Amino acid sequence: MKNSFLPIFFAGIWIAFSEFIRNELIFKGFWINHYKAIGLTFKTTPINGVLWIVWSFFLAFLIYELLKKFSFARTIFLSWLSSFFMMWLTTYNLQVLPLKLLIFAVPLSLIEILIAGFIIKRVINLAEKFPGLV
């Protein structure tokens, strides 16, 4: 597919939506309480939202590029390793990662990457089948 905009766009939207649901609606109270317990304030500001959206589209781009070179399974693993695992390793090193959250975050993040990969593959397949439509 010559144009990478649509697969990256739709996958980026999915990732941003998934992150928002998980961190703002499901686990926000958990984050607030964890930060309070370590003497910090968990803040949600517009710039945080913008940076998460940017992060989401970079992750979608990474998945798109890896899919061109690797199998679907390897792409999912490499994408997850380079985005979530590395982020958690860093936040653990900064001593702000709530380890209990990983029980939910690991499977949900794998599902997030998996669905983003399926979205990218589906949009690419549609573009190949219907060049004028997509």
- List, for residues 17-27, the tens digit of each pLDDT value: 999 999 999 99
The sign one gets for the Cα dihedral 39, 51, 24, 43 is: positive
- List, for residues 89-105, the tens digit of each pLDDT value: 999 999 999 999 999 99
Check pLDDT > 60 for residue 11: yes
- Report pTM: 0.93
**From the centroid of its chain, how far is CA 22?**
11
**From the centroid of its chain, how far is CA 15?**
5
